Amino acid sequence: MEEAVKQHILALREELHQHNYRYYVLSAPIISDHEFDLKMNELQKMEEANPDLYDANSPTQRVGSDINNTFNQMQHRYPMLSLANTYSEGEIRDFYERVKRGLNENFDVVCELKYDGTSISLLYENGALSRAVTRGDGIQGDDVTENIRTIRTIPLKLVGDDFPASFEVRGEILMPWHVFDALNKEREKQEEPLFANPRNATSGTIKLQNSSIVATRKLDAYFYYLMGENLPTDNHFDNLQKLKYWGFKVSEAVKKCATLEEIAAYINYWDTERKNLPVATDGIVLKVNSLHQQRNLGFTAKSPRWAIAYKYQAERAVTTLRSVSYQVGRTGTVTPVANLDPVLLSGTTVKRASLHNADIIEELDLHIDDKVFVEKGGEIIPKIVGVDLDARAAGQGEKVMFVRECPECGAQLLRIEGEAAHYCPNETECPPQLKGRIEHFVSRRAMNIDGLGSETIDLLYRIGMLKDIADLYDLRWEELAKLERLGERSAKNLLAEIEKSKQTPFERLLFGLGIRFVGETVAKKIARNMKNLELIQQATEDDLLQIDEVGVRIAQSLIAYFEKEQNRMLIERLKAAGLQLSLGQESLSGQTDRLQGKTFVISGTFTRHSRDEYKTLIEQHGGKNSGSVSKKTDYLLAGENMGPAKLEKAQSLEIKIISEDDLLEMIGNDLR
């Protein structure tokens, strides 16, 4: 009976992998969405009833999990190199001639699109996805396997049986334009910062700690290079066809070319045609087809001699600079913005462009009324890339000088040594800083107070009802209900939301305070470590530096924050209002500091808990996880089938090797 159940689960997984591939990769489903959902539900139920048959590569795992991901550093088996870039067809000709001279025999060149996303390296073992690592510095990157599993176009199990037992495949993770647009629209609604382009949105997404959010972001992936021993063929083009057959998404635009003319025709064709694609591309890549010839050509220190990237020129327009205005952000940073005569660029009208900082303005030697070149290189916010100096008449227009005083409050601006940005130091009175801090405090990831958008905050600020976050808890129904913008119902809802926020866990409140450099993850670490606000206030720089991920910059920022009388008073008021200024029972339960200061490397598979659960347990008890064994490692948590290289290294460094039972004993878990 049990065997029959197992076989049924395996068959269902196999079938769902196939349907998934047909739907997402081939866009040619053979069953309805409803039938698909029914089968998925059936599998889910059966897996729940048979937890011993768990498989990280089951189709049910595409939805991700809420367990906090930590990204271990992993060394690449083969370094991830970049490509030499060119912008002219002349340089393509030079490349072609160099290869010809180097080989002194006939050769083919494979032309491909250059996808503009985040590169990834996937390791497959025995036909199953075993690891996904980001490029990092090319030598080692972050292990983002849990997040990558949620991408539907990436096969978790391969089709066929002619793949090498172990191989790596390189490709690009991408966020399709329509997903990017919808995500930014949603972020705008939630008053969250927008992503500048799909590339940034993609890299932000694959570094998210919660893989179930990654699953909702609908990422896509194209694959363009196969690496390993015993590859199926000795040429790149046929290997790509194999990849496609095994279930990977390979671009339809790949073309084998035998002459320079064919290459030029390919470049020209895709210059316009690429704009109709669902994902961003920024050029084309040329690769010598034969792997034997690739080996003969070899590498320079940075990139292969057998490949080159041709980048398309970003679209450019010329217009007139009318003025420069300055925006002040929540932390006081001042950003210059160019106001331009409207001009059409890549299908949209551009009126404003980012100028980034004072150095860039100086470098461009900008004058009012200058004719400026605007580019949109994959960014939604266009930038000024140059000035047409010939078009500037003698004595025309005033030179643009970065403001010295805050445009909002008049305070003298400061510039931190070594940093490009200017900022306004008047944090106690400068309106956009005050309002910005309140906006941050109520935002979804912090206190999550719904119904208090930036316009309402602006109104309450102007009439003097809201100057700081503690004022939120003094708002009265009688006063709010009188406001035309709110009315009785919204006022009531808002007050209920504010009341509810008093129960928000301490770590989110700490993040909500908006202390410079204290982001969501750091706030969580500090809260878990220090347990309450009072201890954080009393902590010395040294105490703070003991916390994982807290460096000098963060420690000093925390100390500076709590040294200010005004901040201390604010916290007193939050305390009086009944907010959670210490870790709740929920977060405290199961936490100890038994593993404080110890670094663990986990390897192999386990029976009592999953690897992720062990990672979480180690952190809950004050320990640290790391991806590779080094002198700094204290323990190697060894499971079944662990990598022999890790074991050998641990033994040679005399690192203590422990079993899962040893670990559970160390943290005081009852094994029975």
Query: What DSSP designation does 224 have?
Result: E
Site string for ligand IVH, 233-272 (x = CB under 6 A): ----------------------------------------
CA distances (Å), origin 504, targets 317, 468, 572: 49, 18, 17
A 10 A CB-CB count for 179 gives: 21
Number of residues in contact with ligand IVH, rule: CB under 6 A? 14
Of 29-37, 77-85, 235-243, 270-278, the segment contacting ligand IVH by CB under 6 A is 77-85
| Least distance to ligand IVH, CB of residue 394, Å | 44
Q: Which residue is nearest to ligand IVH (CB)?
A: 119
Q: Are strands 599-603 and 307-311 parallel, antiparallel or unpaired?
A: unpaired
Q: Which helix (H) or strand (E) holds 86?
A: strand 85-86
| Least distance to ligand IVH, CB of residue 103, Å | 18
CA distance 258 to 348: 39
| Least distance to ligand IVH, CB of residue 403, Å | 38
244 flagged as catalytic: no
Site string for ligand IVH, 303-342 (x = CB under 6 A): -x--x-x---------------------------------
Chain centre distance of CA 290: 35
Of 79-87, 522-530, 593-601, 627-635, the segment contacting ligand IVH by CB under 6 A is 79-87
Candidates 25, 43, 83, 533: give the one binding ligand IVH (CB under 6 A): 83
Under rule CB under 6 A, residue 146 binds ligand IVH? no
Q: Are 90 and 152 in contact (CB under 8 A)?
A: no
Candidates 146, 172, 439, 619: give the one binding ligand IVH (CB under 6 A): 172
Under rule CB under 6 A, residue 592 binds ligand IVH? no
Candidates 81, 267, 291, 387: give the one binding ligand IVH (CB under 6 A): 81
A 10 A CB-CB count for 89 gives: 14
Q: Are 231 and 205 in contact (CB under 8 A)?
A: no
Under rule CB under 6 A, residue 115 binds ligand IVH? yes
Q: Are 200 and 207 in contact (CB under 8 A)?
A: no
Q: Which helix (H) or strand (E) holds 588?
A: helix 585-588
Length of the chain: 672
CA distance 86 to 505: 52
CA distance 254 to 250: 8
Q: Are strands 599-603 and 635-638 parallel, antiparallel or unpaired?
A: parallel
Of 108-116, 399-407, 499-507, 562-570, the segment contacting ligand IVH by CB under 6 A is 108-116
Candidates 224, 248, 441, 506: give the one binding ligand IVH (CB under 6 A): 224
Q: From the candidates 114, 218, 244, 624, give the one annotated as an active-site residue.
A: 114
Q: Please identify, using beta-carbon distances, which residue of 81 and 267 lies nearer to ligand IVH.
A: 81
Collapse the DSSP code of 658 into the 3-class scheme (helix H, G, I; strand E, B; otherwise coil) and give the result.
strand
| Least distance to ligand IVH, CB of residue 43, Å | 34
Q: Which amino acid is at 497?
A: E
| Least distance to ligand IVH, CB of residue 148, Å | 15
Candidates 47, 112, 375, 507: give the one binding ligand IVH (CB under 6 A): 112
Q: Please identify, using beta-carbon distances, which residue of 164 and 304 lies nearer to ligand IVH.
A: 304
Of 113-121, 150-158, 550-558, 577-585, the segment contacting ligand IVH by CB under 6 A is 113-121
What is the distance between the terminal CA atoms of the chain, rounded to a whole angstrom? 28
| Least distance to ligand IVH, CB of residue 250, Å | 10
| Least distance to ligand IVH, CB of residue 284, Å | 8
Q: Please identify, using beta-carbon distances, which residue of 120 and 650 lies nearer to ligand IVH.
A: 120
Site string for ligand IVH, 270-289 (x = CB under 6 A): ---------------x----
Tell the burial category of 354 from Cβ atoms under 10 Å away from its Cβ (0-12, 13-18, 19+): middle
Q: Are 135 and 80 in contact (CB under 8 A)?
A: yes
Query: What DSSP designation does 259 have?
Result: S
Of 10-18, 110-118, 521-529, 592-600, the segment contacting ligand IVH by CB under 6 A is 110-118
Tell the burial category of 146 from Cβ atoms under 10 Å away from its Cβ (0-12, 13-18, 19+): buried
Beta-bridged to residue 115, according to DSSP, are 281
| Least distance to ligand IVH, CB of residue 294, Å | 9
Under rule CB under 6 A, residue 114 binds ligand IVH? yes
* Token pair 């309140």: residue: 438
Identify the CA nearest to 328 among candidates 204, 480, 437: 437
Candidates 72, 119, 202, 456: give the one binding ligand IVH (CB under 6 A): 119
CA distance 366 to 383: 13
| Least distance to ligand IVH, CB of residue 170, Å | 6
Q: Please identify, using beta-carbon distances, which residue of 114 and 621 lies nearer to ligand IVH.
A: 114
CA distance 130 to 389: 56
Q: Please identify, using beta-carbon distances, which residue of 307 and 494 lies nearer to ligand IVH.
A: 307
Q: Are 175 and 205 in contact (CB under 8 A)?
A: yes
CA distance 152 to 248: 11
Catalytic residues: 114
Contact positions toward ligand IVH, by CB under 6 A?
81-83, 112, 114-115, 119, 172, 224-225, 285, 304, 307, 309
